[in-house]
Amino acid sequence: MPAHYLALALRSLRHHRVLTALMILAIGLGIGASMTMITVLHAMSGDPLPGRSGRLYTPQLDPRPLSRGKPGRAVADDLPGSLTWPDAMALLRARRADRQAAMAPGIVAVRPGSTALHPFFAHGHYATADFFAMFGTPFRAGGGWSAADDDARARVVVLNAGLARRLFGDAPAVGRTLRLDDADFRVAGVLDDWHPQPAFYMPRNGHGQAFGEADQFFLPLATALDLKLAITGNFSCWGGGGDDRRSDHCTWVQFWTELDNPARARAYRDFLDAYWRDQQAHGRFPRPAQARLYGLVAWLDHEHLIPADLRLQLWLALGFLGVCMVNTVGLLLAKFLRRGGEIGVRRALGARRRDIFAQLGVESAAIGLAGGVLGLALAQLGLWSVRSRPDGYAQLAHMDTAMLFGTFALAVAASVLAGLLPAWRACRIAPALQLKAS
Amino acid sequence: MPRFPLLASLTRHRLTVLLLVVQVACTCAIACNVALMIAGRVASMRQSSGVAEEQLVMIDSTAMGRQDNPLARHQADLAALRAIPGVKAAAAVDALPFNGDNWSNGIATAPGSPAHLAATAFDGTPGELQTLGLQLVEGRDFRSDEYLPVDSGHDWAGIDRVSVVIVTRALARRLFPGRDPLGRSIYPGDHPVRIVGVVDHLLRPDLESGGDGNEDSTLFPMLPDTRDVTYVLRTAPALRGHVLKQAMRTLQRLDGERILDHARSFARLRADYFRHDRTMLGLLLAAALGLLLVTAVGIAGLASFWVQQRRRSIGIRRAVGATRRDIRRYFQAENALIVAGGIVLGSVLAYALNLALMTRYELPRLPWFYLPAGALALWGLGQLAVLGPALRAAAVPPVVATRAA
């Protein structure tokens, strides 16, 4: 029977070619637009460090004075996102986590010795020794540096693969000397194109840096401070006394810890709480907001990394899909009801409502399937156009297998839903009335 | 035109009519708000920066190595740049509209009182006003004896020593509403700074969407003395590319070790700044047009169905004396009625959607005239979509009435 229904459906669809094309086009456009946006957002909310993110936590303290910010604004969610230098160093020295590192993004002038290359700027991170082991960065050659190097403000640098290739070509880079700003650094290691997305360890700012280019270099935080290298993150100060980086009234350091099990995480929370109380007893942390410890995924949620424009685009696409569906429902309904006579005859000849419903359902499913295929093609086109955008996240816009099936499921679900109402309405046609009328 | 049969026939297709009304309503709600977003983006993209945009080119220069006397180096660079044929004026500055380098100070209007607002400090060498082409509407430009270094080596302490400032008209109005700003003092640091001039417009390096503080700009007679500086050159529009190339060569010749970055015309800077908005604008337009298209197609599709379905009744009406025009106008009136229903529902939806967007995406309130405009557009679209089917209906010959259906 289904094969017969399919044949009937195709005949009916062919009969109203223009109308069929319009319905398929409407569903295809709606599905295509929605799937493009859903895929982009899905790619952007991926896990940056699969298998490791569950053990990573960032402690957050709010050392700012009470008077800042607009009155009446919710204080609970309003965190600076970064720590002050003294707090970061206190947490680092306490060594209460399995691994911990302080870090801040920066920019340095790379000055290749050779005359072939002009000096250029490179973006990277200043960090402490545990950074590499904690985040499991893959090394192509060499390694990171030790805590002793941190203390000694050693002039060592870890390059990401891209910068190493640009500077040294295919020759081994480890052990070579590199002039950054006005100091010579020894290359300690080369990373294997490490580029977690979103870059969860970046400080927040308004420019979507979490989806930008990969870090090109890493060097010890203490060394960067020593040499007064430029910091590019949020550097936020309050009160008087200038913007000295080591002061306790400027937040600019990101801090991450690795805690191997929930018990360790609980213990670290207690430790943070004790630290906060102790500092408060010494006159710091005037705000009532307590110390917090966020897991990586919870932190990404808290930071709302996905740009508002993109979320708006998603809602727009879904609204568009909704209108397209209502459109298809209306057209299918009109089409099915127009076949009242035919349906009446079938009913009079003994077809059950269920049979009519199945027959019409097959017809709407055929439209949905065609719309889904068109939608998939349009989504690929949409993703291709997203990838050509200049935004940092654009390169992430690829469809994986899960999203491919998701698209199809959405298309079929949308069209079956769109077909349900008309089919249900049509199968309620009373046979006698229709026969009499015609 | 008989109204009653028209309504009666619509009640025969209650569900279909309801769906069409819902579709028109959703389209109306979404399209009105999308139009509002488009208008907002266009307005923000068309803001005047206040500078002579078509005549400016600039280069960021960052010196390497120890900097003993950055002021002297800037002087030497500027002298060489001014010597390039075609260059009308040149200045070294630390901020420009759209370039993102925003150094803001809290501005108070009385000593020790809390800051009213934060305003961007634009610092530059003498001649900055002429080079940028800023329009001085009140007061005077800085005198040469008023200039002093920013003193970036000591936490930008120049701001505590500078004596005079030029502000934008918008900032003057925000700080001293209804009063003459000339001669009054503002407090960007701990010390009073006297306003000696007012410029017409100067946008900040970073814009806030929907913010009214985008022209909170202050010009100080302070000389940039960091190792990175932006050289701005004013030239004839036709010479911009040539001058930029010459300037790159000149700067490279004076110091081969420095990094030259962001060499571009101001027009390019503006285009880069709004690139994302342009993409978004395209998407919004596409969404709005797609919606209208789908709705028009839906209306046309349903109308042609109804025409087919009613061929016999049309024939009967023609047979008993209705003209072609009557038939056509019947379908047009039917469509107008349905679309009107959709617009009424859509107006409510549009405001509801607008409220939701206002809280979540900082969209402004929907101005009242968007609804009549949207209604008119949708109504026109509906009439356009129904025209084809209505004409086909009008072409049904009376003889159809005599045939079996």
Q: Do B15 and A425 touch (CB under 8 A)?
A: yes
Which chain B residues in 349-368 lie under 8 Å from chain A, judged by CB atoms? 357, 360-361
Same domain, A108 and A179: yes
**pLDDT given for residue A69 in this prediction:** 42
Range of the domain at A81: 53-303
The mean pLDDT of chain A is: 84
Q: Specify whether A10 is located in the same domain as A128.
A: no
Do A286 and A380 share a domain, yes or no? Answer: no
Chain B CB contacts of A335 below 8 Å: 305
Helices (H) and strands (E) in chain B, counts: 11, 13
Provide the chain B residues 323-352 that lie in CB contact (below 8 A) with chain A. Answer: none
A326 and B301 within 8 Å at the Cβ level: the answer is no
Helix A2-15 to helix A17-44 angle (10° resolution) is 110
Chain A hits for B305, Cβ within 8 Å: 331, 334-335, 338
Cβ atoms within 10 Å, residue B8: 10
pLDDT in the model for residue A192: 92
Contact between residue A41 and residue A211 where contact means Cβ atoms under 8 Å apart = no
- HSE of B15 in the Cβ direction (CA atoms, 13 Å)? 15
Q: For position A16, what pLDDT does the model report?
A: 77
Helix (H, G, I), strand (E, B) or coil at A84: strand
Last residue of a domain, one of A280, A303, A326: A303
Q: Are residues A108 and A32 in the same domain?
A: no
pLDDT number for residue A130: 95
Domain check: are A40 and A59 in the same one?
no
Would an 8 Å CB–CB cutoff place A390 in contact with chain B? Answer: yes
What pLDDT score does B7 carry? 73
Question: Does A176 lie in the same domain as A149?
Answer: yes
Across-strand partners of B104? B120
Phi, psi angles (nearest 5°) of residue A411: -60, -50
* pLDDT tens digits for range B151-197: 887 777 888 889 999 999 999 999 999 999 999 999 987 789 999 99
**A83-87, A302-306, B145-149, B353-357: lowest mean pLDDT where?**
A302-306
Q: So what's the pLDDT on residue A411?
A: 73
pLDDT over threshold 80, residue B206: yes
- Which tens digit of pLDDT belongs to each residue from B250-297? 999 998 888 898 899 999 999 988 988 888 888 889 889 989 998 998
The answer to whether residue A29 neighbours chain B at the CB level (below 8 Å) is yes
By the 8 A CB rule, do B51 and B202 touch?
A: yes
Report whether A48 contacts A197 (CB < 8 A).
yes
Q: How far is CA A44 from the centre of its chain?
A: 2
User: Do residue A402 and residue A256 come from a single domain?
Assistant: no
- A210 and A128 in a common domain: yes
Assess contact for A352 and A2: CB atoms under 8 A: no
Closest CA to B156 of B165, B164, B148: B148
| Residues A424, A412: Cα–Cα separation, whole Å | 17
B14 vs A225, residue with greater confidence: A225
Residue count of chain B, please give it: 405
d(CA B140, nearest CA chain A) in Å: 32
Q: Which of A250, A274, A303 is the last residue of a domain?
A: A303
Q: What pLDDT digit, counting tens, does each position of B77-86 carry?
A: 999 999 999 9
Residue B142 has pLDDT above 90, yes or no: yes
Mutation to test the A interface, candidates B305, B334, B357, most A Cβ within 10 Å: B305
β-bridge pairing A56-60 and A250-258: antiparallel
**A228: nearest CA partner in chain B:** B153
Distance, CA of A304 to CA of B372 (rounded, Å): 37
How is residue B134 written in tokens? 């800023």
What local confidence, expressed as pLDDT, does residue A240 receive? Answer: 60
List per-block mean pLDDT (blocks of 10 residues) for chain A, which spans 438 residues.
77 79 87 86 83 93 67 51 92 94 93 77 94 95 94 95 91 92 93 89 66 89 92 75 75 93 93 92 83 90 79 87 88 83 83 85 85 88 83 74 78 78 81 60
Residue B342: which of B377, B367, B310 has the closest Cα? B377
pTM: 0.80
Contacts of A427 (CB under 8 A, 6+ apart): A343, A353, A354, A356, A357, A360
The amino acid at residue B69 is: N
Both A246 and A372 in one domain: the answer is no
Tell me what pLDDT residue B40 has.
87
Are the Cβ atoms of B64 and A181 closer than 8 angstroms? Answer: yes
Torsion sign, CA atoms A18, A20, A21, A26:
positive
Nearest to A313 among B13, B259, B283 (CB): B283
The DSSP result for A244-272, as a single string, is -TTSTTEEEEEEEEE-SSHHHHHHHHHHH
Note the pLDDT of residue A162: 92
Q: What residue type is B388 in one-letter code?
A: G
Query: Are residues A338 and A271 located together in one domain of the fold?
Result: no
B297 touching A, CB under 8 A? yes
pLDDT in tens, B289-323: 989 998 998 888 888 888 888 888 899 989 898 89
Q: What are the chain B neighbours of A329 within 8 Å (beta carbons)? A: 19
pLDDT value, residue B4: 65
Q: How far apart are CA B67 and CA B149, in angstroms?
A: 14
A337 touches chain B (CB under 8 A): yes
State how far the alpha carbon of B351 is from the alpha carbons of A224, B364, B372, in Å.
53, 11, 13
Domain count, chain A: 2
DSSP-H helix ranges across B46-192: 70-82, 128-132, 169-175
A116 and A216 in a single domain? The answer is yes
Per-residue pLDDT for B2 more than 90?
no
Q: How many CB pairs under 8 A join A and B?
A: 110
List CB contacts of A357: < 8 A, sequence separation 6 or more.
A423, A424, A427
Question: Given A282, A303, A324, which residue is the final one in a domain?
Answer: A303
CB contacts of B261 in chain A (<8 Å) are 121
Same domain, A209 and A336: no
Mean pLDDT of B237-244: 95
The C-alpha atoms of residue A370 and residue A363 are separated, in whole angstroms, by 11
Phi, psi of B263 (to 5 degrees): -75, 115
Using the Cβ of B372 and the Cβ atoms of chain A, whether some distance falls under 8 Å is answered with no
What residues of chain B lie within 8 A of the CB of A391, using their CB? 276
